[in-house]
Structure 1
Amino acid sequence: MNAGRPQLAGTFGAVSSTHWLPSAAAMSVLEQGGNAFDAVAAAGFVLQVVEPHYNGLGGDVPIVSYQASTGRVQVVCGQGPTPQAATTEAITKLGLDQIPGSGLLPAVVPGAFGAWMRLLAEHGTLPLDRILDHAIGYAEHGFPLLTSTADAIEVLAPLFASEWTESARVYLPNGRPPAAGSRFRNPALAGTYQRLLREAKAAGGDREAQIAAAERAFYQGFVAEAVDAFVPRTEVLDSTGRRHKGLLTGQDMADWRATVEDSVSLTYRGYEVHKPGIWSQSPVFLQQLALLEGFDLGRMDLDSAEYVHTVAECAKLAFADREAWYGDPDHSDIPLTTLLSPAYTAERRALLEAKAAGTLRPGSPDGRTPHIPAQVAQEPTEALEHWERQIRNGLPTVVKATAARNDTCTVVVADRFGNMVAAVPSGGWLKSSPVVPGTGISLGTRAQTMTLEPGHPNSFGPGRRPRTTLSPSLVLKDGRPVLAFGTPGGDRQDQWTLGFFLAVADFGHDLQTATETLAFHTDHFASSFTPHESRPKTLVVEETVDPEVVEQLRTRGHEVELAPAYTLGKVCAVGHDPDQDLLLAAASPRGRQTYAIAR
């Protein structure tokens, strides 16, 4: 399988993202003398403008980075927590048995802006206006609208026009859905960026003082005030088919700040792989690697039934543990060390069989009894309008009759100074919740991933981080950064990026070729997003797979579903070749919009 793109190489900088304009913005910032931290933040803000169906200023982002001056890998947690009013009773007294996937009830503190500000304050070098200029320019003067964005707006137009009227003011210029490829402007969002920048500059000429002032303006100033005036005081239609107020207040925003923490890591075939913590699904990537360490993948053919079966069955075991054990470690005692330990992994690996597993089998770390929350059955939706069916599904964009759902964004950057950063922004998409009046901002609805069952690590409760699917990766070898990568894709991120990484680590592919290898995933476990569907034994494989391999997989008990060619994932990657001292960049051809730059 080869789409023919070259791996890019240079000595100055390397960038890859899910859209060509953020990639160009990141390289522009590097050319202005900025470092990887400046560049990745600039790209992150542009992503909020040009991919509003996948992320926004009201969303969230985890960022994993290597700083050359300290030699440390760190994670900035931009996953905002639930409001203080977020109790089980607050939901059940409304007659609901689960948290809606859209509207205001599942809204959490928007963490993306605080995360970018924390990253810039501690590691950036350029003034804030140089970081925000690109996003402001595209929001104010326009950009070519993606077909996928236009599709989402067209489907949701009746909802916007009749219920989410502030969203209509932003996304229905002249009262009509904009055409794909048309020049789309978002003056409301541009105004918010501009005001944040004005308040930053009012703090004086010091860069860090400006960043702190912008952060205050967002979390304690005019943005928080707009949220407080709207969310807890306004009933809006959501995925339940009813109107509800939200729980988020301005005080919830004022009480929060993005945190910096150590990464979670595991060594695999000499590669030291770093991920965000267990408040995200990220450690599931490491659990899969730990299981796969016991197999000689290199002797298998990369597209063979043996390889696909082995990887998929390891994914089932790792994700079963995610369902039982992952959540906010600040509120639960989570046995992460045991989950990644060799002894526990060996016990789990022994469960793999030649036949596909048909049940979800979480483990018992430290002898604990696992529990997977029950999923509430959904009412049939056939009689609903198309837009009503869409908002009942908590995924970011319009859900079509295909397995190829490439939601969320990614940006990765490496610079000539030796820094490397990976970020996966998401949340606050145009389908998640109505635009907060006067801001151009939709809020993230990540609380939909939580359970109302008490006692689970991912239980709904005040001030808790919902378990996010967002999962950037950074890899060291011999103590030096060699690779950073990510992909859109919700629950499937840590399967699609796993295939990419194995192609590099076990099969020796260059970064670009690795993004183009056969992609597949299992939907064996419940989706993090409403309606939390699962499809036990289902294995989705791109249709470029050899038909004989499909038959072999079916013989092994997999229910194989073929996806259109080049549709699963949009892996973006940068790297460093220490032997040649070259920076590398690659972007998956899937989606026809990912873009890598190296110079």
Structure 2
Amino acid sequence: MKRLLILALLSGAFSGTQAQQTQKPPLHGKNWMAVTGKPLAATAGAMTFQKGGNAVDAACAMLAATCTMWDVLSWGGETQALIYNPKNGKVIAINALGVAPTGATPAFYKGKGYDFPPEYGPLAAVTPGTAGGLCYMLAAYGTLSLKEVLAPAMEMAAGYPIEAQTANSIERGKKYIKEWPYSKAVFLTHPGQKREAPEAGEIFVQKDLLATLTKMVEAEQDALRKHKSRKEAIMAAYDRFYKGDIAREFVRGCQEQGGLITLEDLARWKPVEEEPLHINYKGIEVYKLQEWTQGPMLLQSLNILENFDLKAMGYNSTEYIHTLYQTMNLTFADRDFYYGDPAFNTNPAIKGLLNKDYAKARAQQINTAQNDAGAGPGDPYPYIGKTNPYLHLLKERGLLTDTTSGRKPGGFVPKHDATTFREHAAEQTHLASLQTAPDPDHIYASNTTDSAYMDRLWRGTTSVEAADKEGWVVSITPSGGWLPACIAGKTGVGMSQRAQSFVLDSALCPFNVIAPGKRPRVTLTPSLALKEGKPFLCFGVQGGDTQDQNLLQFFLDVVEFGMTVQQATEAANINTNQLWLSLGGTTIKDREPRPGSILLNNNTSEKTRKALEQMGYHLSFGDRTSGPVNAIFIDRAHGSLWGGSSNHGEDYGIGW
């Protein structure tokens, strides 16, 4: 009864009323706001603000703390960021994603029997990016020293009370952990006992990681004693990680366990500051990273949805849900074929994909009565005056969606897999007809969706959001090196698993085929929005391929339906499974789209359920379907900051 009351309260949230009740209180601050995926990490951000740091300093401190807490990321992973600089009024994009190492070719992985690079272990690793990204952001846009910013993380590495979520993840993944000697020594604190992982609340000590962070700080402090500038001193720490003794031990430990990363790979890699992509949605400028992330999918979706009166449809009405689902299927189809590292492509499609006329053509292809199980990629090249160089690949996959003649979309599956694709769709239709009522006590209750698939779809990360009264605003979505993590030697640094997001066959995506020095196309996707040229929202979420699905709906909840950021982080969302998974599994079948498969909130009305089933959807249900999203709203009318953090998971914020 209590939950039904809360859901009833939430169902009224779209009325625009600021007083609508939420499960968690909204956060308010005048001076600063820090929101992230772990309570201790949010505290690290608050401590850094109290030292006099700006939002970049605080974001870096939160990043360092979350990396030290494992579970969804670690120090060997990757960092993606958007930063609003109030000094020049520009949004800055930070690309600190690692690259495929020497020897990482399609032939290498196919020779080992893979359809995709593996999920776990040394062969899943790209070069570490988080340490370099943190140093770069701090040096260029922060105000404090590396020593000050890393202080909370170093104290945690010396020993912190581990939370149940991480401790239980270690226990669940110990089969893998035991294969890697350096991981086993760190994580399995009770070897030989029934429970070998730490217990919740146990003081978890990481001596090797502390030594690595100490070496970085020593490099900085030594440079300062030699009268180097603050920026030069921080980059001396960077050099020690990527070119010095830390790098040598990392490579030794990686290669000892069968990995490919070389000293040259680390020395050549560097974070990149680049221009973000953006579109205007009803007067709001929305910013995302370039197409080496899935972020432009949200921008494409907004361009398409601009052609519909969403407010008139009503929040989570049948028509609204259907329009969202069809829009996301079209933009995911484009993502799955056209996105990849732009540094390796001389003929990018992204300008065409973000063209407003292209979006209008895509909107006109939406069937308002039925789910289109064969929604495929469009042809954006005519919208930038070019000929599509990949038409032959699209023809091999089935029928290209024609965005110039209005022809009905065709299939989007490799021809060699078309039979199994059709069989799977038929199987889903049959299972949906047998489906029983959802179990309200399960986060995801479904007869049509298996737990391994959902783990791959939702695979977590975290988000870091920070803002201050001076106008600095930061959104970061870091990840990689999650549990079960393979630690590289005596560094205490877990290796990234991001190579699994590459493909090995150009027929799947010609832009994202693995190659040494190339960045994989990732799901990680920080977000910033400006209104009248000033910061309006920063927002991020964890959850693999669901990230931009949830962020899209969060944004629309605020902009179209008048919700506060806290209401929007808790509001019921939908998810589509009609996409190619970016993570997990080693076969085509593990990752193929599931046409019509949709996640709905348990509070969805019976009328809407029946209507969606008649439109060709296969329904699954969740108790909480909002993310979890973290966000900050910059309230210019009152000169204050609003923080929002979803009502599930461990996400947490502090404001002042």
Structure-1 separation of matches of 2:183 and 2:642: 40
| Candidates 290, 294, 301, aligned match of 1:288 | 301
Shift of 1:233: 4.0
Instruction: Please give the alpha-carbon distance, in whole angstroms, between the structure 2 residues aligned to 1:98 and 1:152.
Output: 24
4+ runs deviating over 4 angstroms: 372-378, 398-404
Q: Closer, same or farther in 2 for the Cα pair 1:120/1:536, shift >3 Å? A: same
Partner residue of 1:197 out of 217, 231, 237 = 217
Maintained 8 Å contact 1:268/1:289: yes
User: Which residue in 2 is equivalent to 1:213?
Assistant: 236
Deviations 1:296-324 (A, max 9, x none): 11112212111111111100000000011
Which residue in the other structure is 2:501 paired with? Answer: 449
Tell me the CA shift for residue 403 of structure 1: 9.3
Which residue of 1 is the match for residue 651 of structure 2? 594
Structure 2 contact 553–573 (Cα < 8 Å) conserved: yes
Q: CA deviation at 1:558?
A: 1.0
1:279 deviates by 0.8
Q: Residue in 2 aligned with 1:410?
A: 463
Distance 1:41 1:261 in 2: 19
**Contact in 2 for aligned 1:503/1:514 (Cα 8 Å):** yes
2:92 matches 1:74: yes
Q: For the Cα contact (< 8 Å) 1:446–1:466, is it kept in 2?
A: yes
User: How big is the shift at 1:406?
Assistant: 5.8
Deviation at 1:192, TM superposition (A): 1.4
Using the alignment, how far apart are the partners of 2:224 and 2:620 within structure 1?
58
RMSD: 2.0
Offset at 1:91? 2.1
Match of 2:348 in 1: 334
Counterpart Cα distance in 1 of 2:647 and 2:174: 30
Residue 420 (structure 1) aligned to one of 440, 459, 473: 473
CA distance in 2, matches of 1:403, 1:503: 26
TM-score (norm 2): 0.83
State whether structure 2 residue 309 is matched by structure 1 residue 301.
no
| Cα deviation code 1:61-113 (max 9, x no counterpart) | 11001010111101010111111322222223334443112111221111111
Distance in 2 (CA, whole Å) between partners of 1:334 and 1:295 is 28
Q: Secondary structure at the match of 2:81?
A: strand
Does residue 224 in structure 1 map to residue 258 in structure 2?
A: no
Counterpart for residue 534 of structure 1: 593
Q: Choose from 173, 190, 194 the match for 2:189.
A: 173
CA pair 401-261 structure 1, distance change in 2 beyond 3 A: closer
**1:278/1:329 contact within 8 Å kept:** yes
2: distance between equivalents of 1:202 and 1:90?
42
Q: Name the CA distance, whole Å, in 2 between partners of 1:172 and 1:97.
A: 32
Offset at residue 196 of structure 1 (A): 1.4
Q: Distance in 1 between matches of 2:187 and 2:292?
A: 33
Contact 2:456 2:544 survives alignment (8 Å): no
Q: Does 1:577 align with 2:627?
A: no
Larger Rg belongs to? 2
Q: Report the 3-state secondary structure (helix = DSSP H, G, I; strand = E; otherwise coil) of the residue aligned with 2:490.
A: coil
Residues 467-499 of structure 1 deviation map (CA, whole Å, 9 limit, x = unaligned)? 010000000000001110000001110001111
CA contact (8 A) 1:422 1:484 kept: yes
Return closer, same or farther for 1:363/1:151 CA change in 2, 3 Å cut-off. Answer: same
Alignment equivalent of 1:467, drawn from 506, 521, 531: 521
CA-CA distance at 1:228 after TM superposition: 2.0
Q: Which residue of 2 aligns with 1:132?
A: 150
Q: State the secondary structure of the residue aligned to 1:590.
A: coil
Q: 1:399–1:405: 8 Å Cα contact kept in structure 2?
A: no
**Secondary structure class of the residue paired with 2:223:** coil
8 A Cα contact 2:288 2:528, kept in partner: yes
* Structure 1 position 208, deviation (Å): 1.5
Match of 1:108 in 2: 126
Whether contact under 8 Å (2:173, 2:483) holds in the other structure is: no
2:175 to 158, 163, 166: 158
Task: Determine the C-alpha separation between the residues in 2 that align with 1:93 and 1:555.
Answer: 45
1:87-126 mapped onto 2 (5 Å cutoff)? 87-126=105-144
Structure 1 position 405, deviation (Å): 3.5
Per-residue displacement from partner, 1:524-581 (whole Å, max 9, x unpaired)? 0111012224322100112122232222211211111112x12541100012111111
| 222 and 533 in structure 1: CA distance in 2 versus 1, 3 angstrom threshold | farther
Letter in 2 for 1:158: K
What letter is aligned with 1:148?
Answer: Q
Aligned pairs (5 A) from 1:251-262: 251-262=264-275
Q: Write the distance in 1 (CA, Å) between the matches of 2:283 and 2:308.
A: 15
Q: Which residue of the other structure, out of 357, 373, 391, is the alignment partner of 1:358? A: 373
The answer on whether the counterparts of 1:404 and 1:568 sit within 8 Å (CA) in structure 2 is no
Count of residues in correspondence between the two structures:
564
Q: Name the residue aligned to 1:148.
A: 165
TM-score, normalised relative to structure 1: 0.90
Q: Match for 1:496: what amino acid? A: N
The structure with the largest helix share of the pair is 2
Partner of 1:547: 606
1:406/1:569 contact within 8 Å kept: no
CA distance in 2, matches of 1:165, 1:403: 26
State the 1:188 CA deviation: 2.1
Alignment correspondent of 1:382: none
State whether structure 2 residue 83 is matched by structure 1 residue 65: yes
**Alignment partners' CA distance in 2, 1:164 and 1:365:** 46
Could you say if the C-alpha distance between residues 402 and 225 of structure 1 is closer, same or farther in structure 2, counting changes exceeding 3 Å?
A: closer
Structure 2 gap segments, 5+ residues each: 1-6, 11-21, 383-387, 398-412, 422-450, 586-590
Match of 2:620 among 553, 561, 571: 561
CA displacement, residues 280-300 of structure 1 (integer Å, 9 cap, x when unaligned):
111001001011000111112
The share of aligned pairs that are identical, in percent, is 32
AA aligned to 2:381 is D
CA distance in structure 2 between the aligned counterparts of 1:95 and 1:268, rounded to whole angstroms:
45
Please give the alpha-carbon distance, in whole angstroms, between the structure 2 residues aligned to 1:292 and 1:41: 35
